[in-house]
Amino acid sequence: MKKIVRLGLFIGLLTVATTSCLRVTRTSTAQITDLSGRWNDTDSRLVAEKMLEEITHAPWLDRFQQIHLKKVQRSLPENNDEKQVLSHDECKPVLIVGTILNKSHEHIEADTFIKDLERSLIKEGKVRIVANSTLKEKLRSERMGQAAFVAPETQKRLGRELGADYMLFGTIYTIIDTEGNNKVVFYQVNLELADLETNELVWIGGKKIKKYKGRGKKVKQKYLGASPTD
């Protein structure tokens, strides 16, 4: 009898363990997933893509290229063929991404958003990006070490850093509206681009995301004005 009881308990425990196992499935990183309703990787990517579109199609970029092209041409001799054939990179503005402040109610990894933004800007190829202050200190430390310990023919010289023309910085905000078990979270990301020499703001952009967290399509329609089929 004891053996039957023990066997029954073992089978019961085995059944519970089997049915309660966590199942993990790999999905595409491009797939939109939103389990908690909080800020996630999809939000970071969508905001970075929107900001990329705005910043690379704003008037400041064409204005910089025209002014810089004239400056470079004036610095060359009159008979220099380079006046007509200039490196495309010479007319690209240099950007450094500064601080993105998180003033939302959530713990948001701003560094992830910054990297998404830097990656998108580099891939687009219309601007050049220099390292931020943290990475810059590590690079400088490495060059100092090379100056002391590395063979002269392979040393990377000091004082050859590429200076930024503009700094990009911004803030992440949230507004929360709740009623009963229903919650609407409104995210707003504001970015600003400033001329490092004059402090002039040459571009301001923003992206808004609204999320509903609750039950029922009819309730969702009430709070977001969405179609019941959404």
Q: Flag whether pLDDT at 1 surpasses 90.
A: no
Q: Flag whether pLDDT at 27 surpasses 80.
A: no
Question: Across all residues in the chain, what is the average pLDDT?
Answer: 81
Kindly calculate the radius of gyration of the chain based on its CA atoms and give it in whole angstroms.
Answer: 27
Question: 153 in helix, strand or coil?
Answer: helix
Domains and CATH numbers, the chain: 39-134+162-224 (3.40.50)
Residue from 175, 161, 211, 208 nearest 189 by CA? 208
- Tell me the C-alpha distance between 230 and 221, whole Å: 9
The H or E element spanning position 185 is: strand 182-195
Query: What's the predicted TM-score (pTM) here?
Result: 0.74
The rounded Cα 71 to chain-centroid distance in angstroms is: 32
Question: Phi first, then psi: what are they for 3, rounded to 5°?
Answer: -65, -40
Question: 179 in helix, strand or coil?
Answer: strand
Q: Do residues 129 and 120 lie in contact, with contact meaning Cβ atoms separated by under 8 Å?
A: no
- Roughly how many angstroms between the first and final C-alpha of the chain, as a whole number? 58
Q: Do residues 171 and 101 lie in contact, with contact meaning Cβ atoms separated by under 8 Å?
A: yes
Scanning the chain, the segments in alpha helix (DSSP H) are 2-19, 41-55, 59-75, 110-124, 133-149, 217-224
> What's the confidence (pLDDT) of residue 213?
81
pLDDT digits (tens, 9 = 90+) for 76-115: 666 555 545 455 667 899 999 999 999 998 888 888 889 9
The pLDDT-based confidence of 198 (bands split at 50, 70, 90) is very high
Average pLDDT over every residue of 176-196:
91
